[in-house]
Every structure is written in C-alpha cells, then in structure tokens.
Amino acid sequence: MNNVCIPPAFIFIIGAFLIPFLSGKARSTYVVLLPVAGFINLISIPMGTLMTVPFLDYTLTLVRIDRLSLAFGYIFHIISFITLIYILHVKKNLEYVAGFIYAGAALGTIFAGDLFTFFVFWETLTVGSVMLIWARGTKASASAGFRYLMIHVTGGLSLLAGIVMMVMKTGSIKFGFIGLTDAASWFIFMGIGVNCAWPFLHTWLTDAYPEATIGGTVFLSAFTTKTAIYALARAYPGTELLIWIGVGMAAFPIFFAVIENDLRRVLAYSLVNQVGFMVVGIGIGSELAINGAVAHAFNDILFKGLLFMSMGAVMYRTGKIKATDLGGLYKSMPWTAAFCIVGAASISAFPFFSGFVSKSMVMSAAGNHHMIAVWLVLLFASAGVFHHAGIKIPFFAFFGHDAGHRVKEAPTHMLIAMGLAAFLCIFNGTFYKPLYSILPYAANYEPYTLSHIVSQTELLFYSALAFTLLLLSGIYPAEMRAINIDFDWFYRKPLNALEALCSRIFNSINRFCDRVFVKTLTGQINGFAVNATTKLTNGLLSPVFRANAKKSAEDENSTSPEQAMPCGADVEKAFSTGTSPIGIFAACAGLMIVVMYFFA
C-alpha cells in the first residue's frame, strides 16, 4: 500500500521556517494554530498508511501509521499545542523555531518506517533540543548544552554503526522488531539507550534540562525520552534486560531527588524515574505491559509537562528555582499552585488522576509474571515519587517557610496552558476509556477496583505520613545551597583533569620541538647551507693565503692595494656576491667533480 499524505513532521519542520517572517499577534496565532493543523492532518491519515518514496537503491517509508505510532503522534501534537501556548511571552523567534523543529523531528522519528528516515529525524531531535538549551543564553546553559550535544552525538554514532551493520547484513532498511541478537542490534540498543536516559547514561538529562529556557524544558521533557520509549517498544519489546534497566531507572533517581535543591532538577530526576516504569513495561513485553508503557508515556508527557510549567511560571515571576529561595508562593500564585498540585497528584498516581490508570498497568503486568523483586522496587519507587515529586515540589515552592516573594500570578497564557494540561490529567485519570482505546493493544484492564483504590491510597497516605513526621521531627534533610555530583562527575572532573594533563604533556613536547627543530636546528642548517662552500674553500686555500700573506709582508712598501694578493675575507665576499674569480670558481667546480666521483 502506498498512500500519499502530508508527513506530520513536515508540517512542523517546514512550518518552523515561516516563523521568522511573522511577528506580534500574527506570529502568536500562527504558532498556536500550527499544531492544530498538524493534528487535523494526522487524524485525516487512515490507519495502516505506509507512505513510501524511492531513494537510491532503497525505498524509504516516511509515514507508517499503526496503533503504536499513532498513540505517540496524538500526544506529541497535544503537548506541542499546550507548550506553544505556554511560551507565548517569548519575544525571540529562536525558541519557537527550535521547538517546532524538535517536535517535528520527534514526529518524524515515530512515524518513520525505515531505519534511514528514523536516523535522520533522530539526529534532528538533538539539533532542535540543544538549541532550546542554548537559548537560555547563560554560561551554564552553554556548557551544559555542549555536554548534551557530545553525549547525543556519541549515542547517534552508536545507532548509525548499528544501522549500517544491520543493513549490510540483511540488505533491508525496514524498521521493525530487532531484538538483542548480534553486534548490530546491540549498537542500536545502546544508541536508543542514551536518549532513554538509562542509568549512567542519564546525566545529560539531569545536567541539561534544568539549564534550558523556561519553555524549553517543557518541550524537552516531552520528546527525547518518549521517542526512545517508542523506539524500544517498536524494536525491543520483551527484552529481559530492559526490565532490570527500568528497575534501576525507577529506583536510583528518587534518592538524588530528595536531596536536590534545584526544583527543576528534582523534576528531571523524577522524569528518569517515570521513564523507568515505561522501560520495565517494554521489557516485560506482554500486551498489558506494552499498553501500560505507552499509556504511562502519554500521561507522563502531560503531568511532567504540567509540573515543569508550574516551576517555569515560578521561575518566570520570582527569578528563583532553588528550594532554599522559595516558599509561601500559594499566596501570590494560587492558580499555579493548584495546577502544580494536580500535576503532583497525577505523577503520584492518586485515584482519579492520570498516573493511577497507567502506572498500575505496568505494576500489574509485573505482578502477573510473578516478578517479585521488580514489583517490590516499583512499589518502592511509587512511594518515593510521591515523596519527592508529589510532596516536595509543591511544598517547597508554594508552602513551607514563606520566602517573602510577593509577585503577580503567572501570565494568562501560562495559566491556560497549565489549565489544559491539568484538565487532561484529571480527565485521563477519571475517564480512562478514551486513553485506553488508543493504546497499541485492546485494553481490558480495570484500574478502579476497590482493592486498588484502597491499597494505592494507603501507600500514598502513609508515605505522606512519613514525610510529615520526618519534617516535624527535623530529620527530613533541610534544603541546602549545594549541588550533588552524579555520574557526570566522571567526565566533568577526571576527564577534564586528563585533558589538562594531556595538554601539559603534549604542549611541552611541542614547545621543546619548536625550540630544537624550528628555532635552533633550522637556523644552523640554513647557516651551513649558506656558508659551507665559503668555509670549505677558505680551508682548502689557506696554504695559498698564508703564502700570499708572507709575500705581501716582504714587499710591504712596493705593493699598492689594487695589487694585493687575495685573502680569506675576499673569498667570503666573492662567494656571497657571486663574483668569485674564474680561477677559484674553476677550482671549486673541479673539487665538486672530485667529491662527486668519490661519493656518487
């Protein structure tokens, strides 16, 4: 089947290049309507479409619409629409253009039916996203952006190597199930893993996301990790290793989040934690688990976006984002506080909020397969995420001790964007059927059983009880003006030191060579080349000169200067001006022939 349609990515990416020609209200209207146009185009493309175009010896599949790609397509359009409303205060074009290129690249990646198209859009994701980090314009964002770029380029190379090896071996560029078999599949696996923020590969996320612009972070939280989740669900469902990777991701970030002071970095850690649940779901690979992973990706984009938006609004009004500088903002920003609490309740999976209907699918899938350790760690992570994202974020920003900020409520467009996201969080949590109907497999799961509601509420309330008691007793770690080193320490400190050491060693070798070869030896060789013949001639003629000198001394009175016999200085002068007497010249030529005769 070869249906022709407008690839969803093209609307965003080509549309992005028209933004610089617009300004003011026209630009605002345009950027908000572009995702709407994209969405209308998306729902007009029939299910099962495969749009192919010939390219060299291969056939590229620019658009593949199936249930898996479509679910991601819907949410990518929705969050683009919401985020664009959220950033309408931004004056510069860069963020809009970068945002659309980034979102368009994400759409291109998920709808790509072949590895080549997939790779091109995958790399475009990196380009778009790094612009959103650099757009902040601070020194910290510049260097975080560079580290981000280096890591993603490395991941991209791994992906490319895997794709090339795979295409060489199979001769097909089709992008479908791969599974962990040969070296090629491992390279692709690791390439995707970088974007998925696996443990030890996650530092680009927690390093760079809090350094991006206010709206940039909202964009970033939606696309890179979720396209990676899509790619894993497409190519590696049921890969057991993913279960353990996901368990690691769900567990370790919550410890860092508890002691982190930068609230957007807290959210970055909780992003890794939530993606962990999705990775576990893909690793389990059953229909329920894959459905759970996709549903949770859908919901996470909304509630994580909402949380980042609320923190962005706080940052926009107060200029602060560290917990030590914030507190008591519910008085000045009640709506933002309310929306933040909705996001917090959703990520914590309270009944009637979106996390409740999706996270539990992954938990149930683990339970169905009797994975005891996995289930226990996920339960621990569920309690932990409530602790750091559910309580800590709203508490330290809007309640806690009053930091004395008396600011205006967030701008209207931000409130509208947050309101939309909050509405969808509650809607998905309460009326979950529409969400379930777009999942890759038919969903028979029933989240609202009395048993599930009571056990989840118990888990959360007793987590809250622990927080309350620890806070009242003073054991809860006070927020401190400090940073916490993570795995990025290895490339920011020892690797930096190694670079400094290498630069010392190689630069001193360089300086030594410069002194010896360039400054000293070259001059000497040059001098030798210029003066050697003169010196040689002088040496050979020295008996003659000496005899001449003796003779001149004898006829001192009778000899005029014109008739003076040649001496060493004359020879030197003659050679340097090229005017040597024929006799000497002939002697030298003869000498040369003799030398050549012996040595040639």
Partner 1 sequence: MFDNPKNVKRLLAIFFTSVVILFIMDFFVHKHAHFPWENWPVFYAIFGFVACVLLVLVSRYILRPLVKRKEDYYE
Among 255, 506, 512, 517, binds partner 1 (CB under 8 A): 255
Nearest in space to 118 (alpha carbons), one of 163, 73, 180, 79: 163
Using rule CB under 8 A, residue 91 touches partner 1: no
**Chain centroid to CA 428: how far?**
30
Shortest distance (Å) from residue 259 CB to partner 1: 5
Contacts of residue 440, defined as CB under 8 A and 6 or more positions apart, other chains included, come to 67, 68, 71, 233, 287, 290, 291, 294
Per-residue string for binding with partner 1, 330-369, x by CB under 8 A?
xx--------------------------------x--xx-
Shortest distance (Å) from residue 230 CB to partner 1: 28
Nearer to partner 1, 56 or 478 (CB): 478
Torsion of CA 63, 69, 73, 76, to 10 degrees: -120
Phi-psi domain of 51 (left: phi exceeds 0; alpha: psi -120 through 50; beta: other): beta
Per-residue string for binding with partner 1, 525-564, x by CB under 8 A?
----------------------------------------
Nearest in space to 432 (alpha carbons), one of 353, 367, 363: 353
Among 258, 338, 438, 565, binds partner 1 (CB under 8 A): 258
DSSP letter assigned to residue 322:
B
Among 485, 495, 547, 549, binds partner 1 (CB under 8 A): 485
Shortest distance (Å) from residue 425 CB to partner 1: 22
Contacts of residue 245, defined as CB under 8 A and 6 or more positions apart, other chains included, come to 193, 198, 199, 279, 283
Angle between helices 67-86 and 287-318 (to 10 degrees): 10
Q: Do residues 296 and 358 touch, judged by C-beta distance below 8 A?
A: yes
Nearer to partner 1, 39 or 134 (CB): 134
Nearer to partner 1, 95 or 479 (CB): 479
Among 480, 497, 516, 532, binds partner 1 (CB under 8 A): 480
Instruction: Report the alpha-carbon distance of residue 138 to residue 23 in Å, rounded.
Output: 25
User: Can you say whether the dihedral through the CA atoms of 252, 350, 283, 301 is positive or negative?
Assistant: negative
Can you give 232-276 as a three-state secondary structure string?
A: HHHHCCCCHHHHHHHHHHHHHHHHHHHHCCEHHHHHHHHHHHHHH
Using rule CB under 8 A, residue 449 touches partner 1: yes
Site residues for partner 1, 111-150, by CB under 8 A, read: none
Instruction: Report the alpha-carbon distance of residue 40 to residue 347 in Å, rounded.
Output: 29
Using rule CB under 8 A, residue 384 touches partner 1: yes
Shortest distance (Å) from residue 454 CB to partner 1: 5
Shortest distance (Å) from residue 359 CB to partner 1: 14
Using rule CB under 8 A, residue 39 touches partner 1: no
Among 484, 533, 534, 559, binds partner 1 (CB under 8 A): 484
Applying CB under 8 A, which residues contact partner 1? Answer: 254-256, 258-259, 330-331, 364, 367-368, 370, 372, 375, 379-380, 383-384, 387, 399, 402, 449-452, 454-468, 470, 475-477, 480-486, 492
